[in-house]
Chains A and B, each alone.
Chain A
Amino acid sequence: MSDFILETHDLQRRFRQGGGLLARATTIHAVNGVSLQVRRGETFAIVGESGCGKSTLARLLLRLIEPSAGRVVYDGQDLTALGAARMRALRSELQFIFQDPFSSLNPRMSVASIIAEPLRVHTTLSSAARRARVADLMARVGLRPDMSDRYPHEFSGGQRQRISIARALASGPKLLIGDEPVSALDVSVQAQIVNLLEDLKQEFGLTLVIIAHDLAVIRHMSDRIAVMYLGEVVEQAGTEALFTTPRHPYTQALLAAIPVPMPGARPVRAHLGGDIPSPADPPAGCKFHTRCPHATDLCRSTRPALLGAAHQVACHHHATLPRPDLPLGRTGTRSPAAAARFELFRAASQTTSPTGKETTQ
């Protein structure tokens, strides 16, 4: 068995946009030559700003959309070459959690039938056994099983995301891909879902791939990270390495832009000027050169390859770039008294719910 549960090789996806009688259609390279490897049992994160192609990539990984070129290999099998029936069977192992818990649940299905649907498709359980399994899954994700006859609109955003997670777990997946699974939620609810995903990952031995733009969530959850810019991976490394010694100028700018929740922490920031260029008309060479403070003629003409072993970076000049001064490593100035108050809150919140697991009412 290979170390990697999921690999992509030079994965590409192009979209045609516009076009008609008089206008010529433009081609957008949403994902442009992405090769990455996800290790069994890890949490792998894909980050980037809007329009970088991360959601397209997430859908390609599960073949929810077809690639224009390249391969996706899951557990030694080339997903892109599988026939429909084989792919359908394999989907029990590959599940997806969407960002918006309001539009990803069918409003006309009860919670029980939403969670039971993968069981009907992928298993031969009797209806009684399905009901028992649904109740079990609901309890596992922190929903009261007696709410199974209710409809999605009767639940809050956090509860709906729990329903989505229960549905994703129903078929016994090995790999779970979440496209911004917590970004639509309030901070305190987000924390509940992050903790839940981590517990479930442990309990079911899952591999998680998380797409997100919130770098704090990413740092908290993931083992390794790929940073995307305009359809390409510009840097890929272990979480600690990426946050402490980012090598690509884009990663450096991204990290420098994060507001740090510590008053007075941020130094005067070097601005990353301008907007992300249109993916319909991307710059030649390194796609970041239009915003990069270190760009040279080489960057404007030649696309850098993603090179390196554990810490990969796609930049001609990464070896000679100055190290950025990031405020991220500095820890807060919480007093010992404040730390004791946080501990008091933590201890009390664990004793109020006897299992130590958060449930909604």
Chain B
Amino acid sequence: MPPDPLQPDSTLEVRDLSIRFRGQALDLIDSVSFSIARGKTLCLVGESGCGKSVTSLAIMGLLPKRAATITQGTVRFNGTDLLDLPERAIEDLRGNRMAMIFQEPMTSLNPAFTVGHQVAEAVRRHKRCSRAEARDRALQMFRKVRMPAAETRLDDYPHQMSGGMRQRVMIAMALVNDPEVLIADEPTTALDVTIQAQILDLMRELQDDTGAALLMITHDLGVVAEIADDVAVMYAGRVVESGPVGRIFEEPQHCYTLGLMGSMPAIAGRQGRLLTIPGAVPAPEAMPAGCRFATRCPLAIPDCSMKRPTLVADRAGQSVACLRAPLDQIVAAQ
């Protein structure tokens, strides 16, 4: 595979990843591709069920094998295809050079152990060191994530902490071994807006420090605008549009991106009635063979449900998968 001219030195590179769930006749995740360079942030954006979380689990090797099969594609981490590695090699990477932060810190922390123990355990799983050294390292991380009263907090159990503090623990645990790739699945969705602001600032700052490549999964376009360098918009298991964050926000091209952005109420003030996307995501068995958005797209033509659109990139690095693109031609024709 030739190196991507736009991303010559990607830390993480996903190519044509397809995933099929047991009992289904099509790849629900269908040829998803993106790459993230060192120190950069890519946001995967989309609504529930679009496959953004499944994609991230596949990258981490956490897909339940009985329920889902990777039917094609590669996941390269510093050039090595993770899908070729044996389970034990993946286990050594996970929580070490690749780490993940989940949405709900309460369910991803063990309620029976202190948070300090859990962070120290993450160190000892991957590095030879004494318990005292691991605890020191945990304390260091607690200070780094600006945990108030870090030293005493080490001995707290998860239930003794607020949601914001638990998310700080998750971040401390994820970053304790200086990962090169960090995947964050809706890390601030469960938090209040003032706490979300603290956590986003913290993540950005730590990323600047460590140079980790960050894959952020979110449905909140405000969060995307704050943190992303690049954006990939997913709909029903496919990337429909991707590119640098400025381009996606200023020059959205795909109908789904337009619909998604237009349905968000503007914080700058009311701008008339909200746009809506008619209908709902089709069930897997009713998925059109062509563009998966065709059933809901107000601009769809008969060809759209038959022919699959490919992602076509422009010179600014923005790609869109739409038979009717560029829409500007339709505007001009009217």
| Chain A residues near B (Cβ < 8 Å) | 49-50, 156, 158, 186-192, 194-195, 198, 213, 215-217, 219-221, 240, 243, 253-254, 256-266, 269, 271-276, 328-335, 337-338, 340-342, 344-346, 348-349, 351-353, 358-361
Which residues of the other chain, B, contact A265 by a CB distance below 8 angstroms? Answer: 225
- Chain B 185-221 against A: per-residue CB contact (8 Å), 1 yes, 0 no? 0000000111111101100000000000000000111
Q: A260 contacts which chain B residues (CB < 8 A)?
A: 222, 225-226, 267-268
User: Which residue of A258, A261, A262, A335 contacts B193 across the interface (Cβ within 8 Å)?
Assistant: A258
- Whether A344 pairs with B267 at a CB distance below 8 angstroms is no
A188-B273 contact in complex given A219-B267, A341-B327, C-beta closer than 8 Å: no
Cβ contact within 8 Å between B265 and A219: yes
Contact with A along B280-301 (1 / 0, CB 8 A): 1000000000000000001100
Give Cα distance in the complex from A216 to B219, angstroms: 15
A188 in contact with B260 (CB, 8 Å):
yes
CB contacts (< 8 Å) of B299 on chain A: these are: 344-345, 348
A219-B266, A358-B276, A361-B279 known; 5 other A-B pairs, CB under 8 Å? A190-B263, A221-B265, A273-B198, A275-B164, A340-B331
Known A-B contacts A187-B264, A216-B267; the reply to A344 vs B330 at CB < 8 A is yes
Q: Which of A188, A345, A360 is B47 in contact with, Cβ under 8 Å?
A: A188
Q: List 19 A-B contacts (CB under 8 A).
A: A188-B259, A188-B277, A189-B280, A191-B262, A219-B265, A254-B194, A258-B193, A258-B222, A259-B225, A262-B225, A263-B226, A263-B228, A266-B226, A271-B201, A337-B328, A338-B252, A345-B259, A349-B277, A349-B278
Is residue B306 contacting chain A, with contact meaning CB distance below 8 A?
no
Q: Which of A187, A269, A271, A328 contacts B219 (CB 8 A)?
A: A187
Q: Which residues of B contact A192 (CB under 8 A)?
A: 276
C-alpha gap A342/B299 in the complex (Å): 12
The answer, yes or no, to whether B119 is at the interface (CB within 8 Å) is no
**Tally of B interface residues using CB under 8 Å:** 61
- Minimum CB–CB distance for A351 against chain B, Å: 8
Nearest CB on A from B14, distance (A): 23
Q: Given the complex, which residues of A lie within 8 Å of B220, measured CB to CB?
A: 259
Q: Which residue of A lies closest to B275 (CB)?
A: A346
* Residue B162 is within 8 A (CB to CB) of chain A in the complex: yes
